[in-house]
Amino acid sequence: MKKIGIEVNGVLRNTLGKIQQTYEKFLIENNSTEKTYILDESGNTESIIQEEEFEYEVLGNIDSLNLLNHFKFKSDDELYEFLYQEFAMQIFGHAESSEMHTFHTLNDIYLKYRSTNDIVIISDEIGKSKPATLFFLSKFGCQIEKIKFYSDTTKNSIWDEVDVLVSANPSLIEDHPENKVVIKFNTQYNKTNKSEHEISSLKELDECLQKLGIC
C-alpha cells in the first residue's frame, strides 16, 4: 500500500490567478494614500507633513512563487495581511479549480485507488487560509477524507505522510527524500524545475501511477 499525496495549490486550485484577480479588484482599483505624521512641540500628532500616493501594480507575468516579485506591496507585513487576514476567504475559498474537470477526475482517482492506497490532500496554508481551503474543497465536492496542512517551517513533515506526491511547488519538486517519488504538475512557475515524472493535467495522473506500478 502506497501513500499518495495530492497538493492543492497549483494542482487542484488556481491560487495565483485568484490572488491576481483579488489584488487588481481591491487594491489597484482602490488606490490608497499614505499619510505621514510628526509630533509638534506640544506632543500632538495632528500635523500632517506629507501625503504620498502608493501605486499598487502587477509587476509582470507570474513565473515564480515569490509574490513580491510580481505584486507591489508596501511591506512584507501588508502582503501577509492581504493573503491570510483581509482576503483569505476571497482568495483561498473562492478560487477556481485548476481545470474545469479537476474534482471530477480527483474523485474518480480516489474511488479507484482508495482500497489499495492511502490518499491525502496536501496544502501549504497559514492562519485563515486553512478554513478557507476546507471551504474550497467542500465547495467542489472533494471526497478525500485526509488533509495535511503544512507551512515553510513544517514542510519536511509531509514526507512522513506520503510516498508519492503530486505537486507544483518548485521547492518540493527539487528537494525531496531519495526514497520518495514526486510527480510534477506543470505550471508557468515551475518550468525550470526538472522531475522524472511530470503531468500537465490531472487526467494524466492515473496513467502515471500505473507506470509507477501503483494500482
Domains, the chain, in order of start with CATH, read 3-15+94-211 (3.40.50.1000), 17-87 (no CATH)
pLDDT, one tens digit per residue, over 131-169 is: 999 999 999 999 999 999 999 899 989 999 999 999 999
pTM above threshold 0.75: yes
pLDDT, one tens digit per residue, over 25-71 is: 999 987 654 445 555 555 555 544 444 678 999 998 899 999 999 99
Cell of 106: 480527483
pLDDT average, residue stretch 80-102: 97
pLDDT at position 33 is: 47
